[in-house]
Amino acid sequence: MIGYRRPEDPSCLFIWQVAVDERFRGLGLAGRMLDDLLHDKAIAPPVHTLQTTITDDNLASQQTFRSLARRWDDAPMVVTPLFESAHLTHSSDTAHHEPERLYEIGPPM
Ligand SMILES: CC(C)(COP(=O)(O)OP(=O)(O)OC[C@H]1O[C@@H](n2cnc3c(N)ncnc32)[C@H](O)[C@@H]1OP(=O)(O)O)[C@@H](O)C(=O)NCCC(=O)NCCS
C-alpha cells in the first residue's frame, strides 16, 4: 500500500495504490491494512478524509473502499469524475482505458 497526506491538508490521506498478492486476496488483508493506517494513533494529525481513485471496472477495489466506509462509522462515500477515457488515451495508443473516478470517504465531523 502506498499513500501520502495531502500537503495542503494533512488530515486527508490519499491512497495511491493498494495491492494484495493474488494468492491471498479475499481474506480481508486490504481492509485490515487500510483500517490500521486510518486508525494508527502514532501518526498525527488523525485522518478525517480518505481519497483514492478507482477505475469503473475495478469491482474489488470499489468494494474494498465501500466496505471501509461502512466500518468507518458508515462514512459517506462521494464519487466524482476525475479522468475520462480520452484523458488517459495517447494518440498512438489503441488500448481502451477505463475512466478513473475520485472516491472521497470521511465521517461527518
Ligand atoms: C483490491 C484488492 C487490494 C483487495 O484486496 P483483498 O485483500 O482481497 O480485499 P479484502 O479481502 O480486504 O476485501 C475487502 C472487501 O472487498 C470485497 N471484495 C474483495 N475482492 C472482491 C472481488 N473480486 N469482487 C467483489 N468484492 C470483492 C470483499 O468481499 C470485502 O468486502 P466485505 O468487507 O463487505 O466482505 C485486491 O483485489 C488487489 O490487489 N487487486 C489488484 C490491485 C488493484 O487493483 N488495486 C486497486 C487499484 S489501486
Query: Domain with 32 in it: what CATH number?
Result: 3.40.630.30
Count how many residues are written for the chain: 109
Question: What's the domain count of the chain?
Answer: 1
**Which has the higher per-residue pLDDT, 69 or 45?**
69
Nearest CA owner, ligand 1 atom 22: 60
**Helix ranges (DSSP H) in the chain:** 29-38, 59-71, 85-88
Distance (Å) from CA 91 to ligand 1 centroid: 32
Owning domain of residue 36: 2-105
Q: What are phi and psi of 41, to 5 degrees?
A: -70, -15
Please indicate, yes or no, whether the overall pTM of this predicted structure exceeds 0.85: yes
Nearest CA to ligand 1 atom 29: 26
Residue with cell 466496505: 67
Q: Could you read off the pLDDT of 27-59 as tens digits, one per residue?
A: 999 999 999 999 888 877 899 999 999 999 999
Give ligand 1 pocket residues (Cβ under 6 A). Answer: 17-20, 25-31, 58-61, 63-64, 67
Q: What percent of the chain has pLDDT over 90?
A: 76
